[in-house]
Amino acid sequence: MAAKPPSDDLAKLSVNNGGADGKAAVANGAKNGDAANHSGDESEDDADDQTAEPAPGAAKKKKNKKKKPKKKKKAPTSQTDPPSVLMSQLFPNNTYPKGEEVEYKDENRYRTTSEEKRHLDNLNTDFLVDYRHAAETHRQVRQWAQKNIKPGQTLTEIAEGIEDSIRRLVGHDGLAEGDAKVAGVGFPTGLNLDHIAAHYTPNAGNKTVLQQSNVMKVDIGVHVNGKIVDSAFTMSFDPMYDNLLAAVKDATNTGVKEAGIDVRLGELGGLIQETMESYECEINGTTYPIKSIRNLTGHTILPYSIHGTKSVPIVKSADNTKMEEGDVFAIETFGSTGNGYVHDEGEVSHYALRSDAPKVDLRLSSAKSLLNVIKKNFGTIPFARRYLDRLGQEKYLLGLNNLVQSGIVEDYPPLLDKRGSYTAQFEHTILLRPTVKEVISRGDDY
């Protein structure tokens, strides 16, 4: 989920670029426990073999046959299609796979073998378990989505397929009060077509159908106990767009590779931009340079908050802020054949309760009741209108708009480049652990 920087940050960028805030989400602890099936032995009468002589004319009684003990069901060892097996069953005892671990270099190389840093790393066991749980859920859901998304499907069908799969795998359907804050969807699934770069998910009644000619950014968030994994990929069904996708994937991988403790964010943006803009793409006979979208950025992720306090520009800037030990970053890059600059436009679908919301005396009763629903079910985790629909909320738009106008809830309109252009996105979440950099969302797919 992308975000834009405050206006004063734009001045810091060397090519009139802006920064984008990250994504924000909050959740409580995941409690996935699987009850084992137990079958007790049937008790047998000790006198089975001592049968009395039947009375004359009486029918013989049949001996009681011993019942065979019920076989225990074997724990599943592979995922279903669509995904439905709990992660906690596939990986018992919290043995979730690690992400890609990369050793620090230069003056931070010592961290790999430092006893002090290892000790600090070992203090983060629960943190790593939650992040790896969320990351493996993300990998399995997105890989299923990549195989199954086809032109002709509606965006609603695609979004709900992804989100329902996430809920099944973490064991929280989000329907009971507060359940979505324990584990589940980290933010609304972005399905952004062509010139729409970010923050679009279908609202109720949307009948948009994916076409063969579309370039679709798929931005998925998963959280466990508020630890949010934010990772995105782009799909196209025509090789004409291959260079656009290659440019953005390469730029994201450059950002992931060069990121690390003490790296300056403005310099990292320059490396990302250099990689991105070394590509061009021929579409329908016209060659377009690939441009970094200068007012979108990566960002830090905080517990229960998708938008942290640091932004990662994707163009060179004068930002001397350093990455630090313990930071969690979403390294995301966006490339475009258009202006390389986005603006707000269209119907809003993404919302989030502000962590710094002002105390406002709400006079609209619908706004008061909706705020209570949002606090209890999402906290500061971003939500879509569809999530309110599935909770049974009705006629809530007036109250929702009042909360936005009061500064209590933030809305995230779709972010668009010029019509007729094409945009692409790739994104990974990285953990700057004391000993190594862990690309927590890395998979065989990207």
Through-space distance between the first and last CA atoms of the chain, rounded to whole angstroms: 18
Give φ, ψ of 167 to 5 degrees: -60, -40
How far does Cα 346 stand from its chain's mean position?
23
Rounded distance between C-alpha atoms, residue 254 and residue 221, angstroms: 22
Would you name the residues annotated as active-site residues?
A: 219, 230, 299, 307, 332, 427
CB 407: neighbour CB atoms within 10 A? Answer: 12
Rounded distance between C-alpha atoms, residue 30 and residue 226, angstroms: 9
C-beta separation of 314 from 333 below 8 A: yes
Helix 125-148 to helix 155-170 angle (10° resolution) is 150
Rounded distance between C-alpha atoms, residue 55 and residue 59, angstroms: 8
**Rg of the Cα atoms in the chain:** 26
C-beta separation of 292 from 276 below 8 A: yes
- How far, CA to CA in Å, does 386 sit from each of 145, 304, 347? 20, 20, 13
